[in-house]
Amino acid sequence: NTIVIMTSNLGSHLLLEHDPDQEGVREKVMARLQEHFRPEFLNRIDEIVLFHRLDPSQIRRIIDIQLEGLKKRLLERDITLELSDNAIGALALEGYDPAFGARPLKRLIQRKVENELAKQLLDGEIGDGDTVRVDVENGEFVAHRAQPVSQ
């Protein structure tokens, strides 16, 4: 047995303008599919699911997932990465687009967080054993070595 999942942007403009649960939206999306695909193809599909926009908690979860890989790579150098709530909020705001979903997030994290960390590693501003905190200051992502807690 096999499950095949296919995605399409056909009718996505309708979903941007209306809630997928709104009466008539499903019929309009189905009409777009019927205009584009042959009936023989559509008849072989068991279920067509209309997706909803991501809510803030889902976007936050996607950010966490994207950051996990970076955090694991940094832990190989015993570097701990922390992001402020402001930084996470800025990633959510800049990295989510209603038309494209969360696709831009990965590139944004690479551009704004990873590249800054790589520069600081190369410049010796951060190194093995450090804790690095990423925040937003004056609209820009910044990374600082966290001050060790004195005992």
Count of CB atoms within 10 A of residue 79's CB?
19
pLDDT for position 123:
96
* Torsion angles phi and psi, residue 64, rounded to 5: -60, -45
Whole-number Cα distances in Å, 6 to 18, 50, 73, 105? 22, 12, 32, 22
pLDDT of 94 = 92
CA 33 to chain centre: 27
b/e code 46-72 from CB counts within 10 Å (16+ = b)? eeeeeeeebeeeebeebbeebbeeeee
pLDDT score, position 54 = 83
CB 62 within 8 A of CB 105: yes
For tokens 């008539």, the residue is 24
List, run by run, the mean pLDDT of 10-residue segments along the chain (151 residues): 86 74 83 94 91 85 94 95 96 85 90 95 94 96 79 50
**pLDDT recorded at residue 148:** 60
pLDDT at 20: 65
Spell out the domains of the chain, with CATH numbers in brackets: 1-52 (no CATH), 56-145 (1.10.8.60)
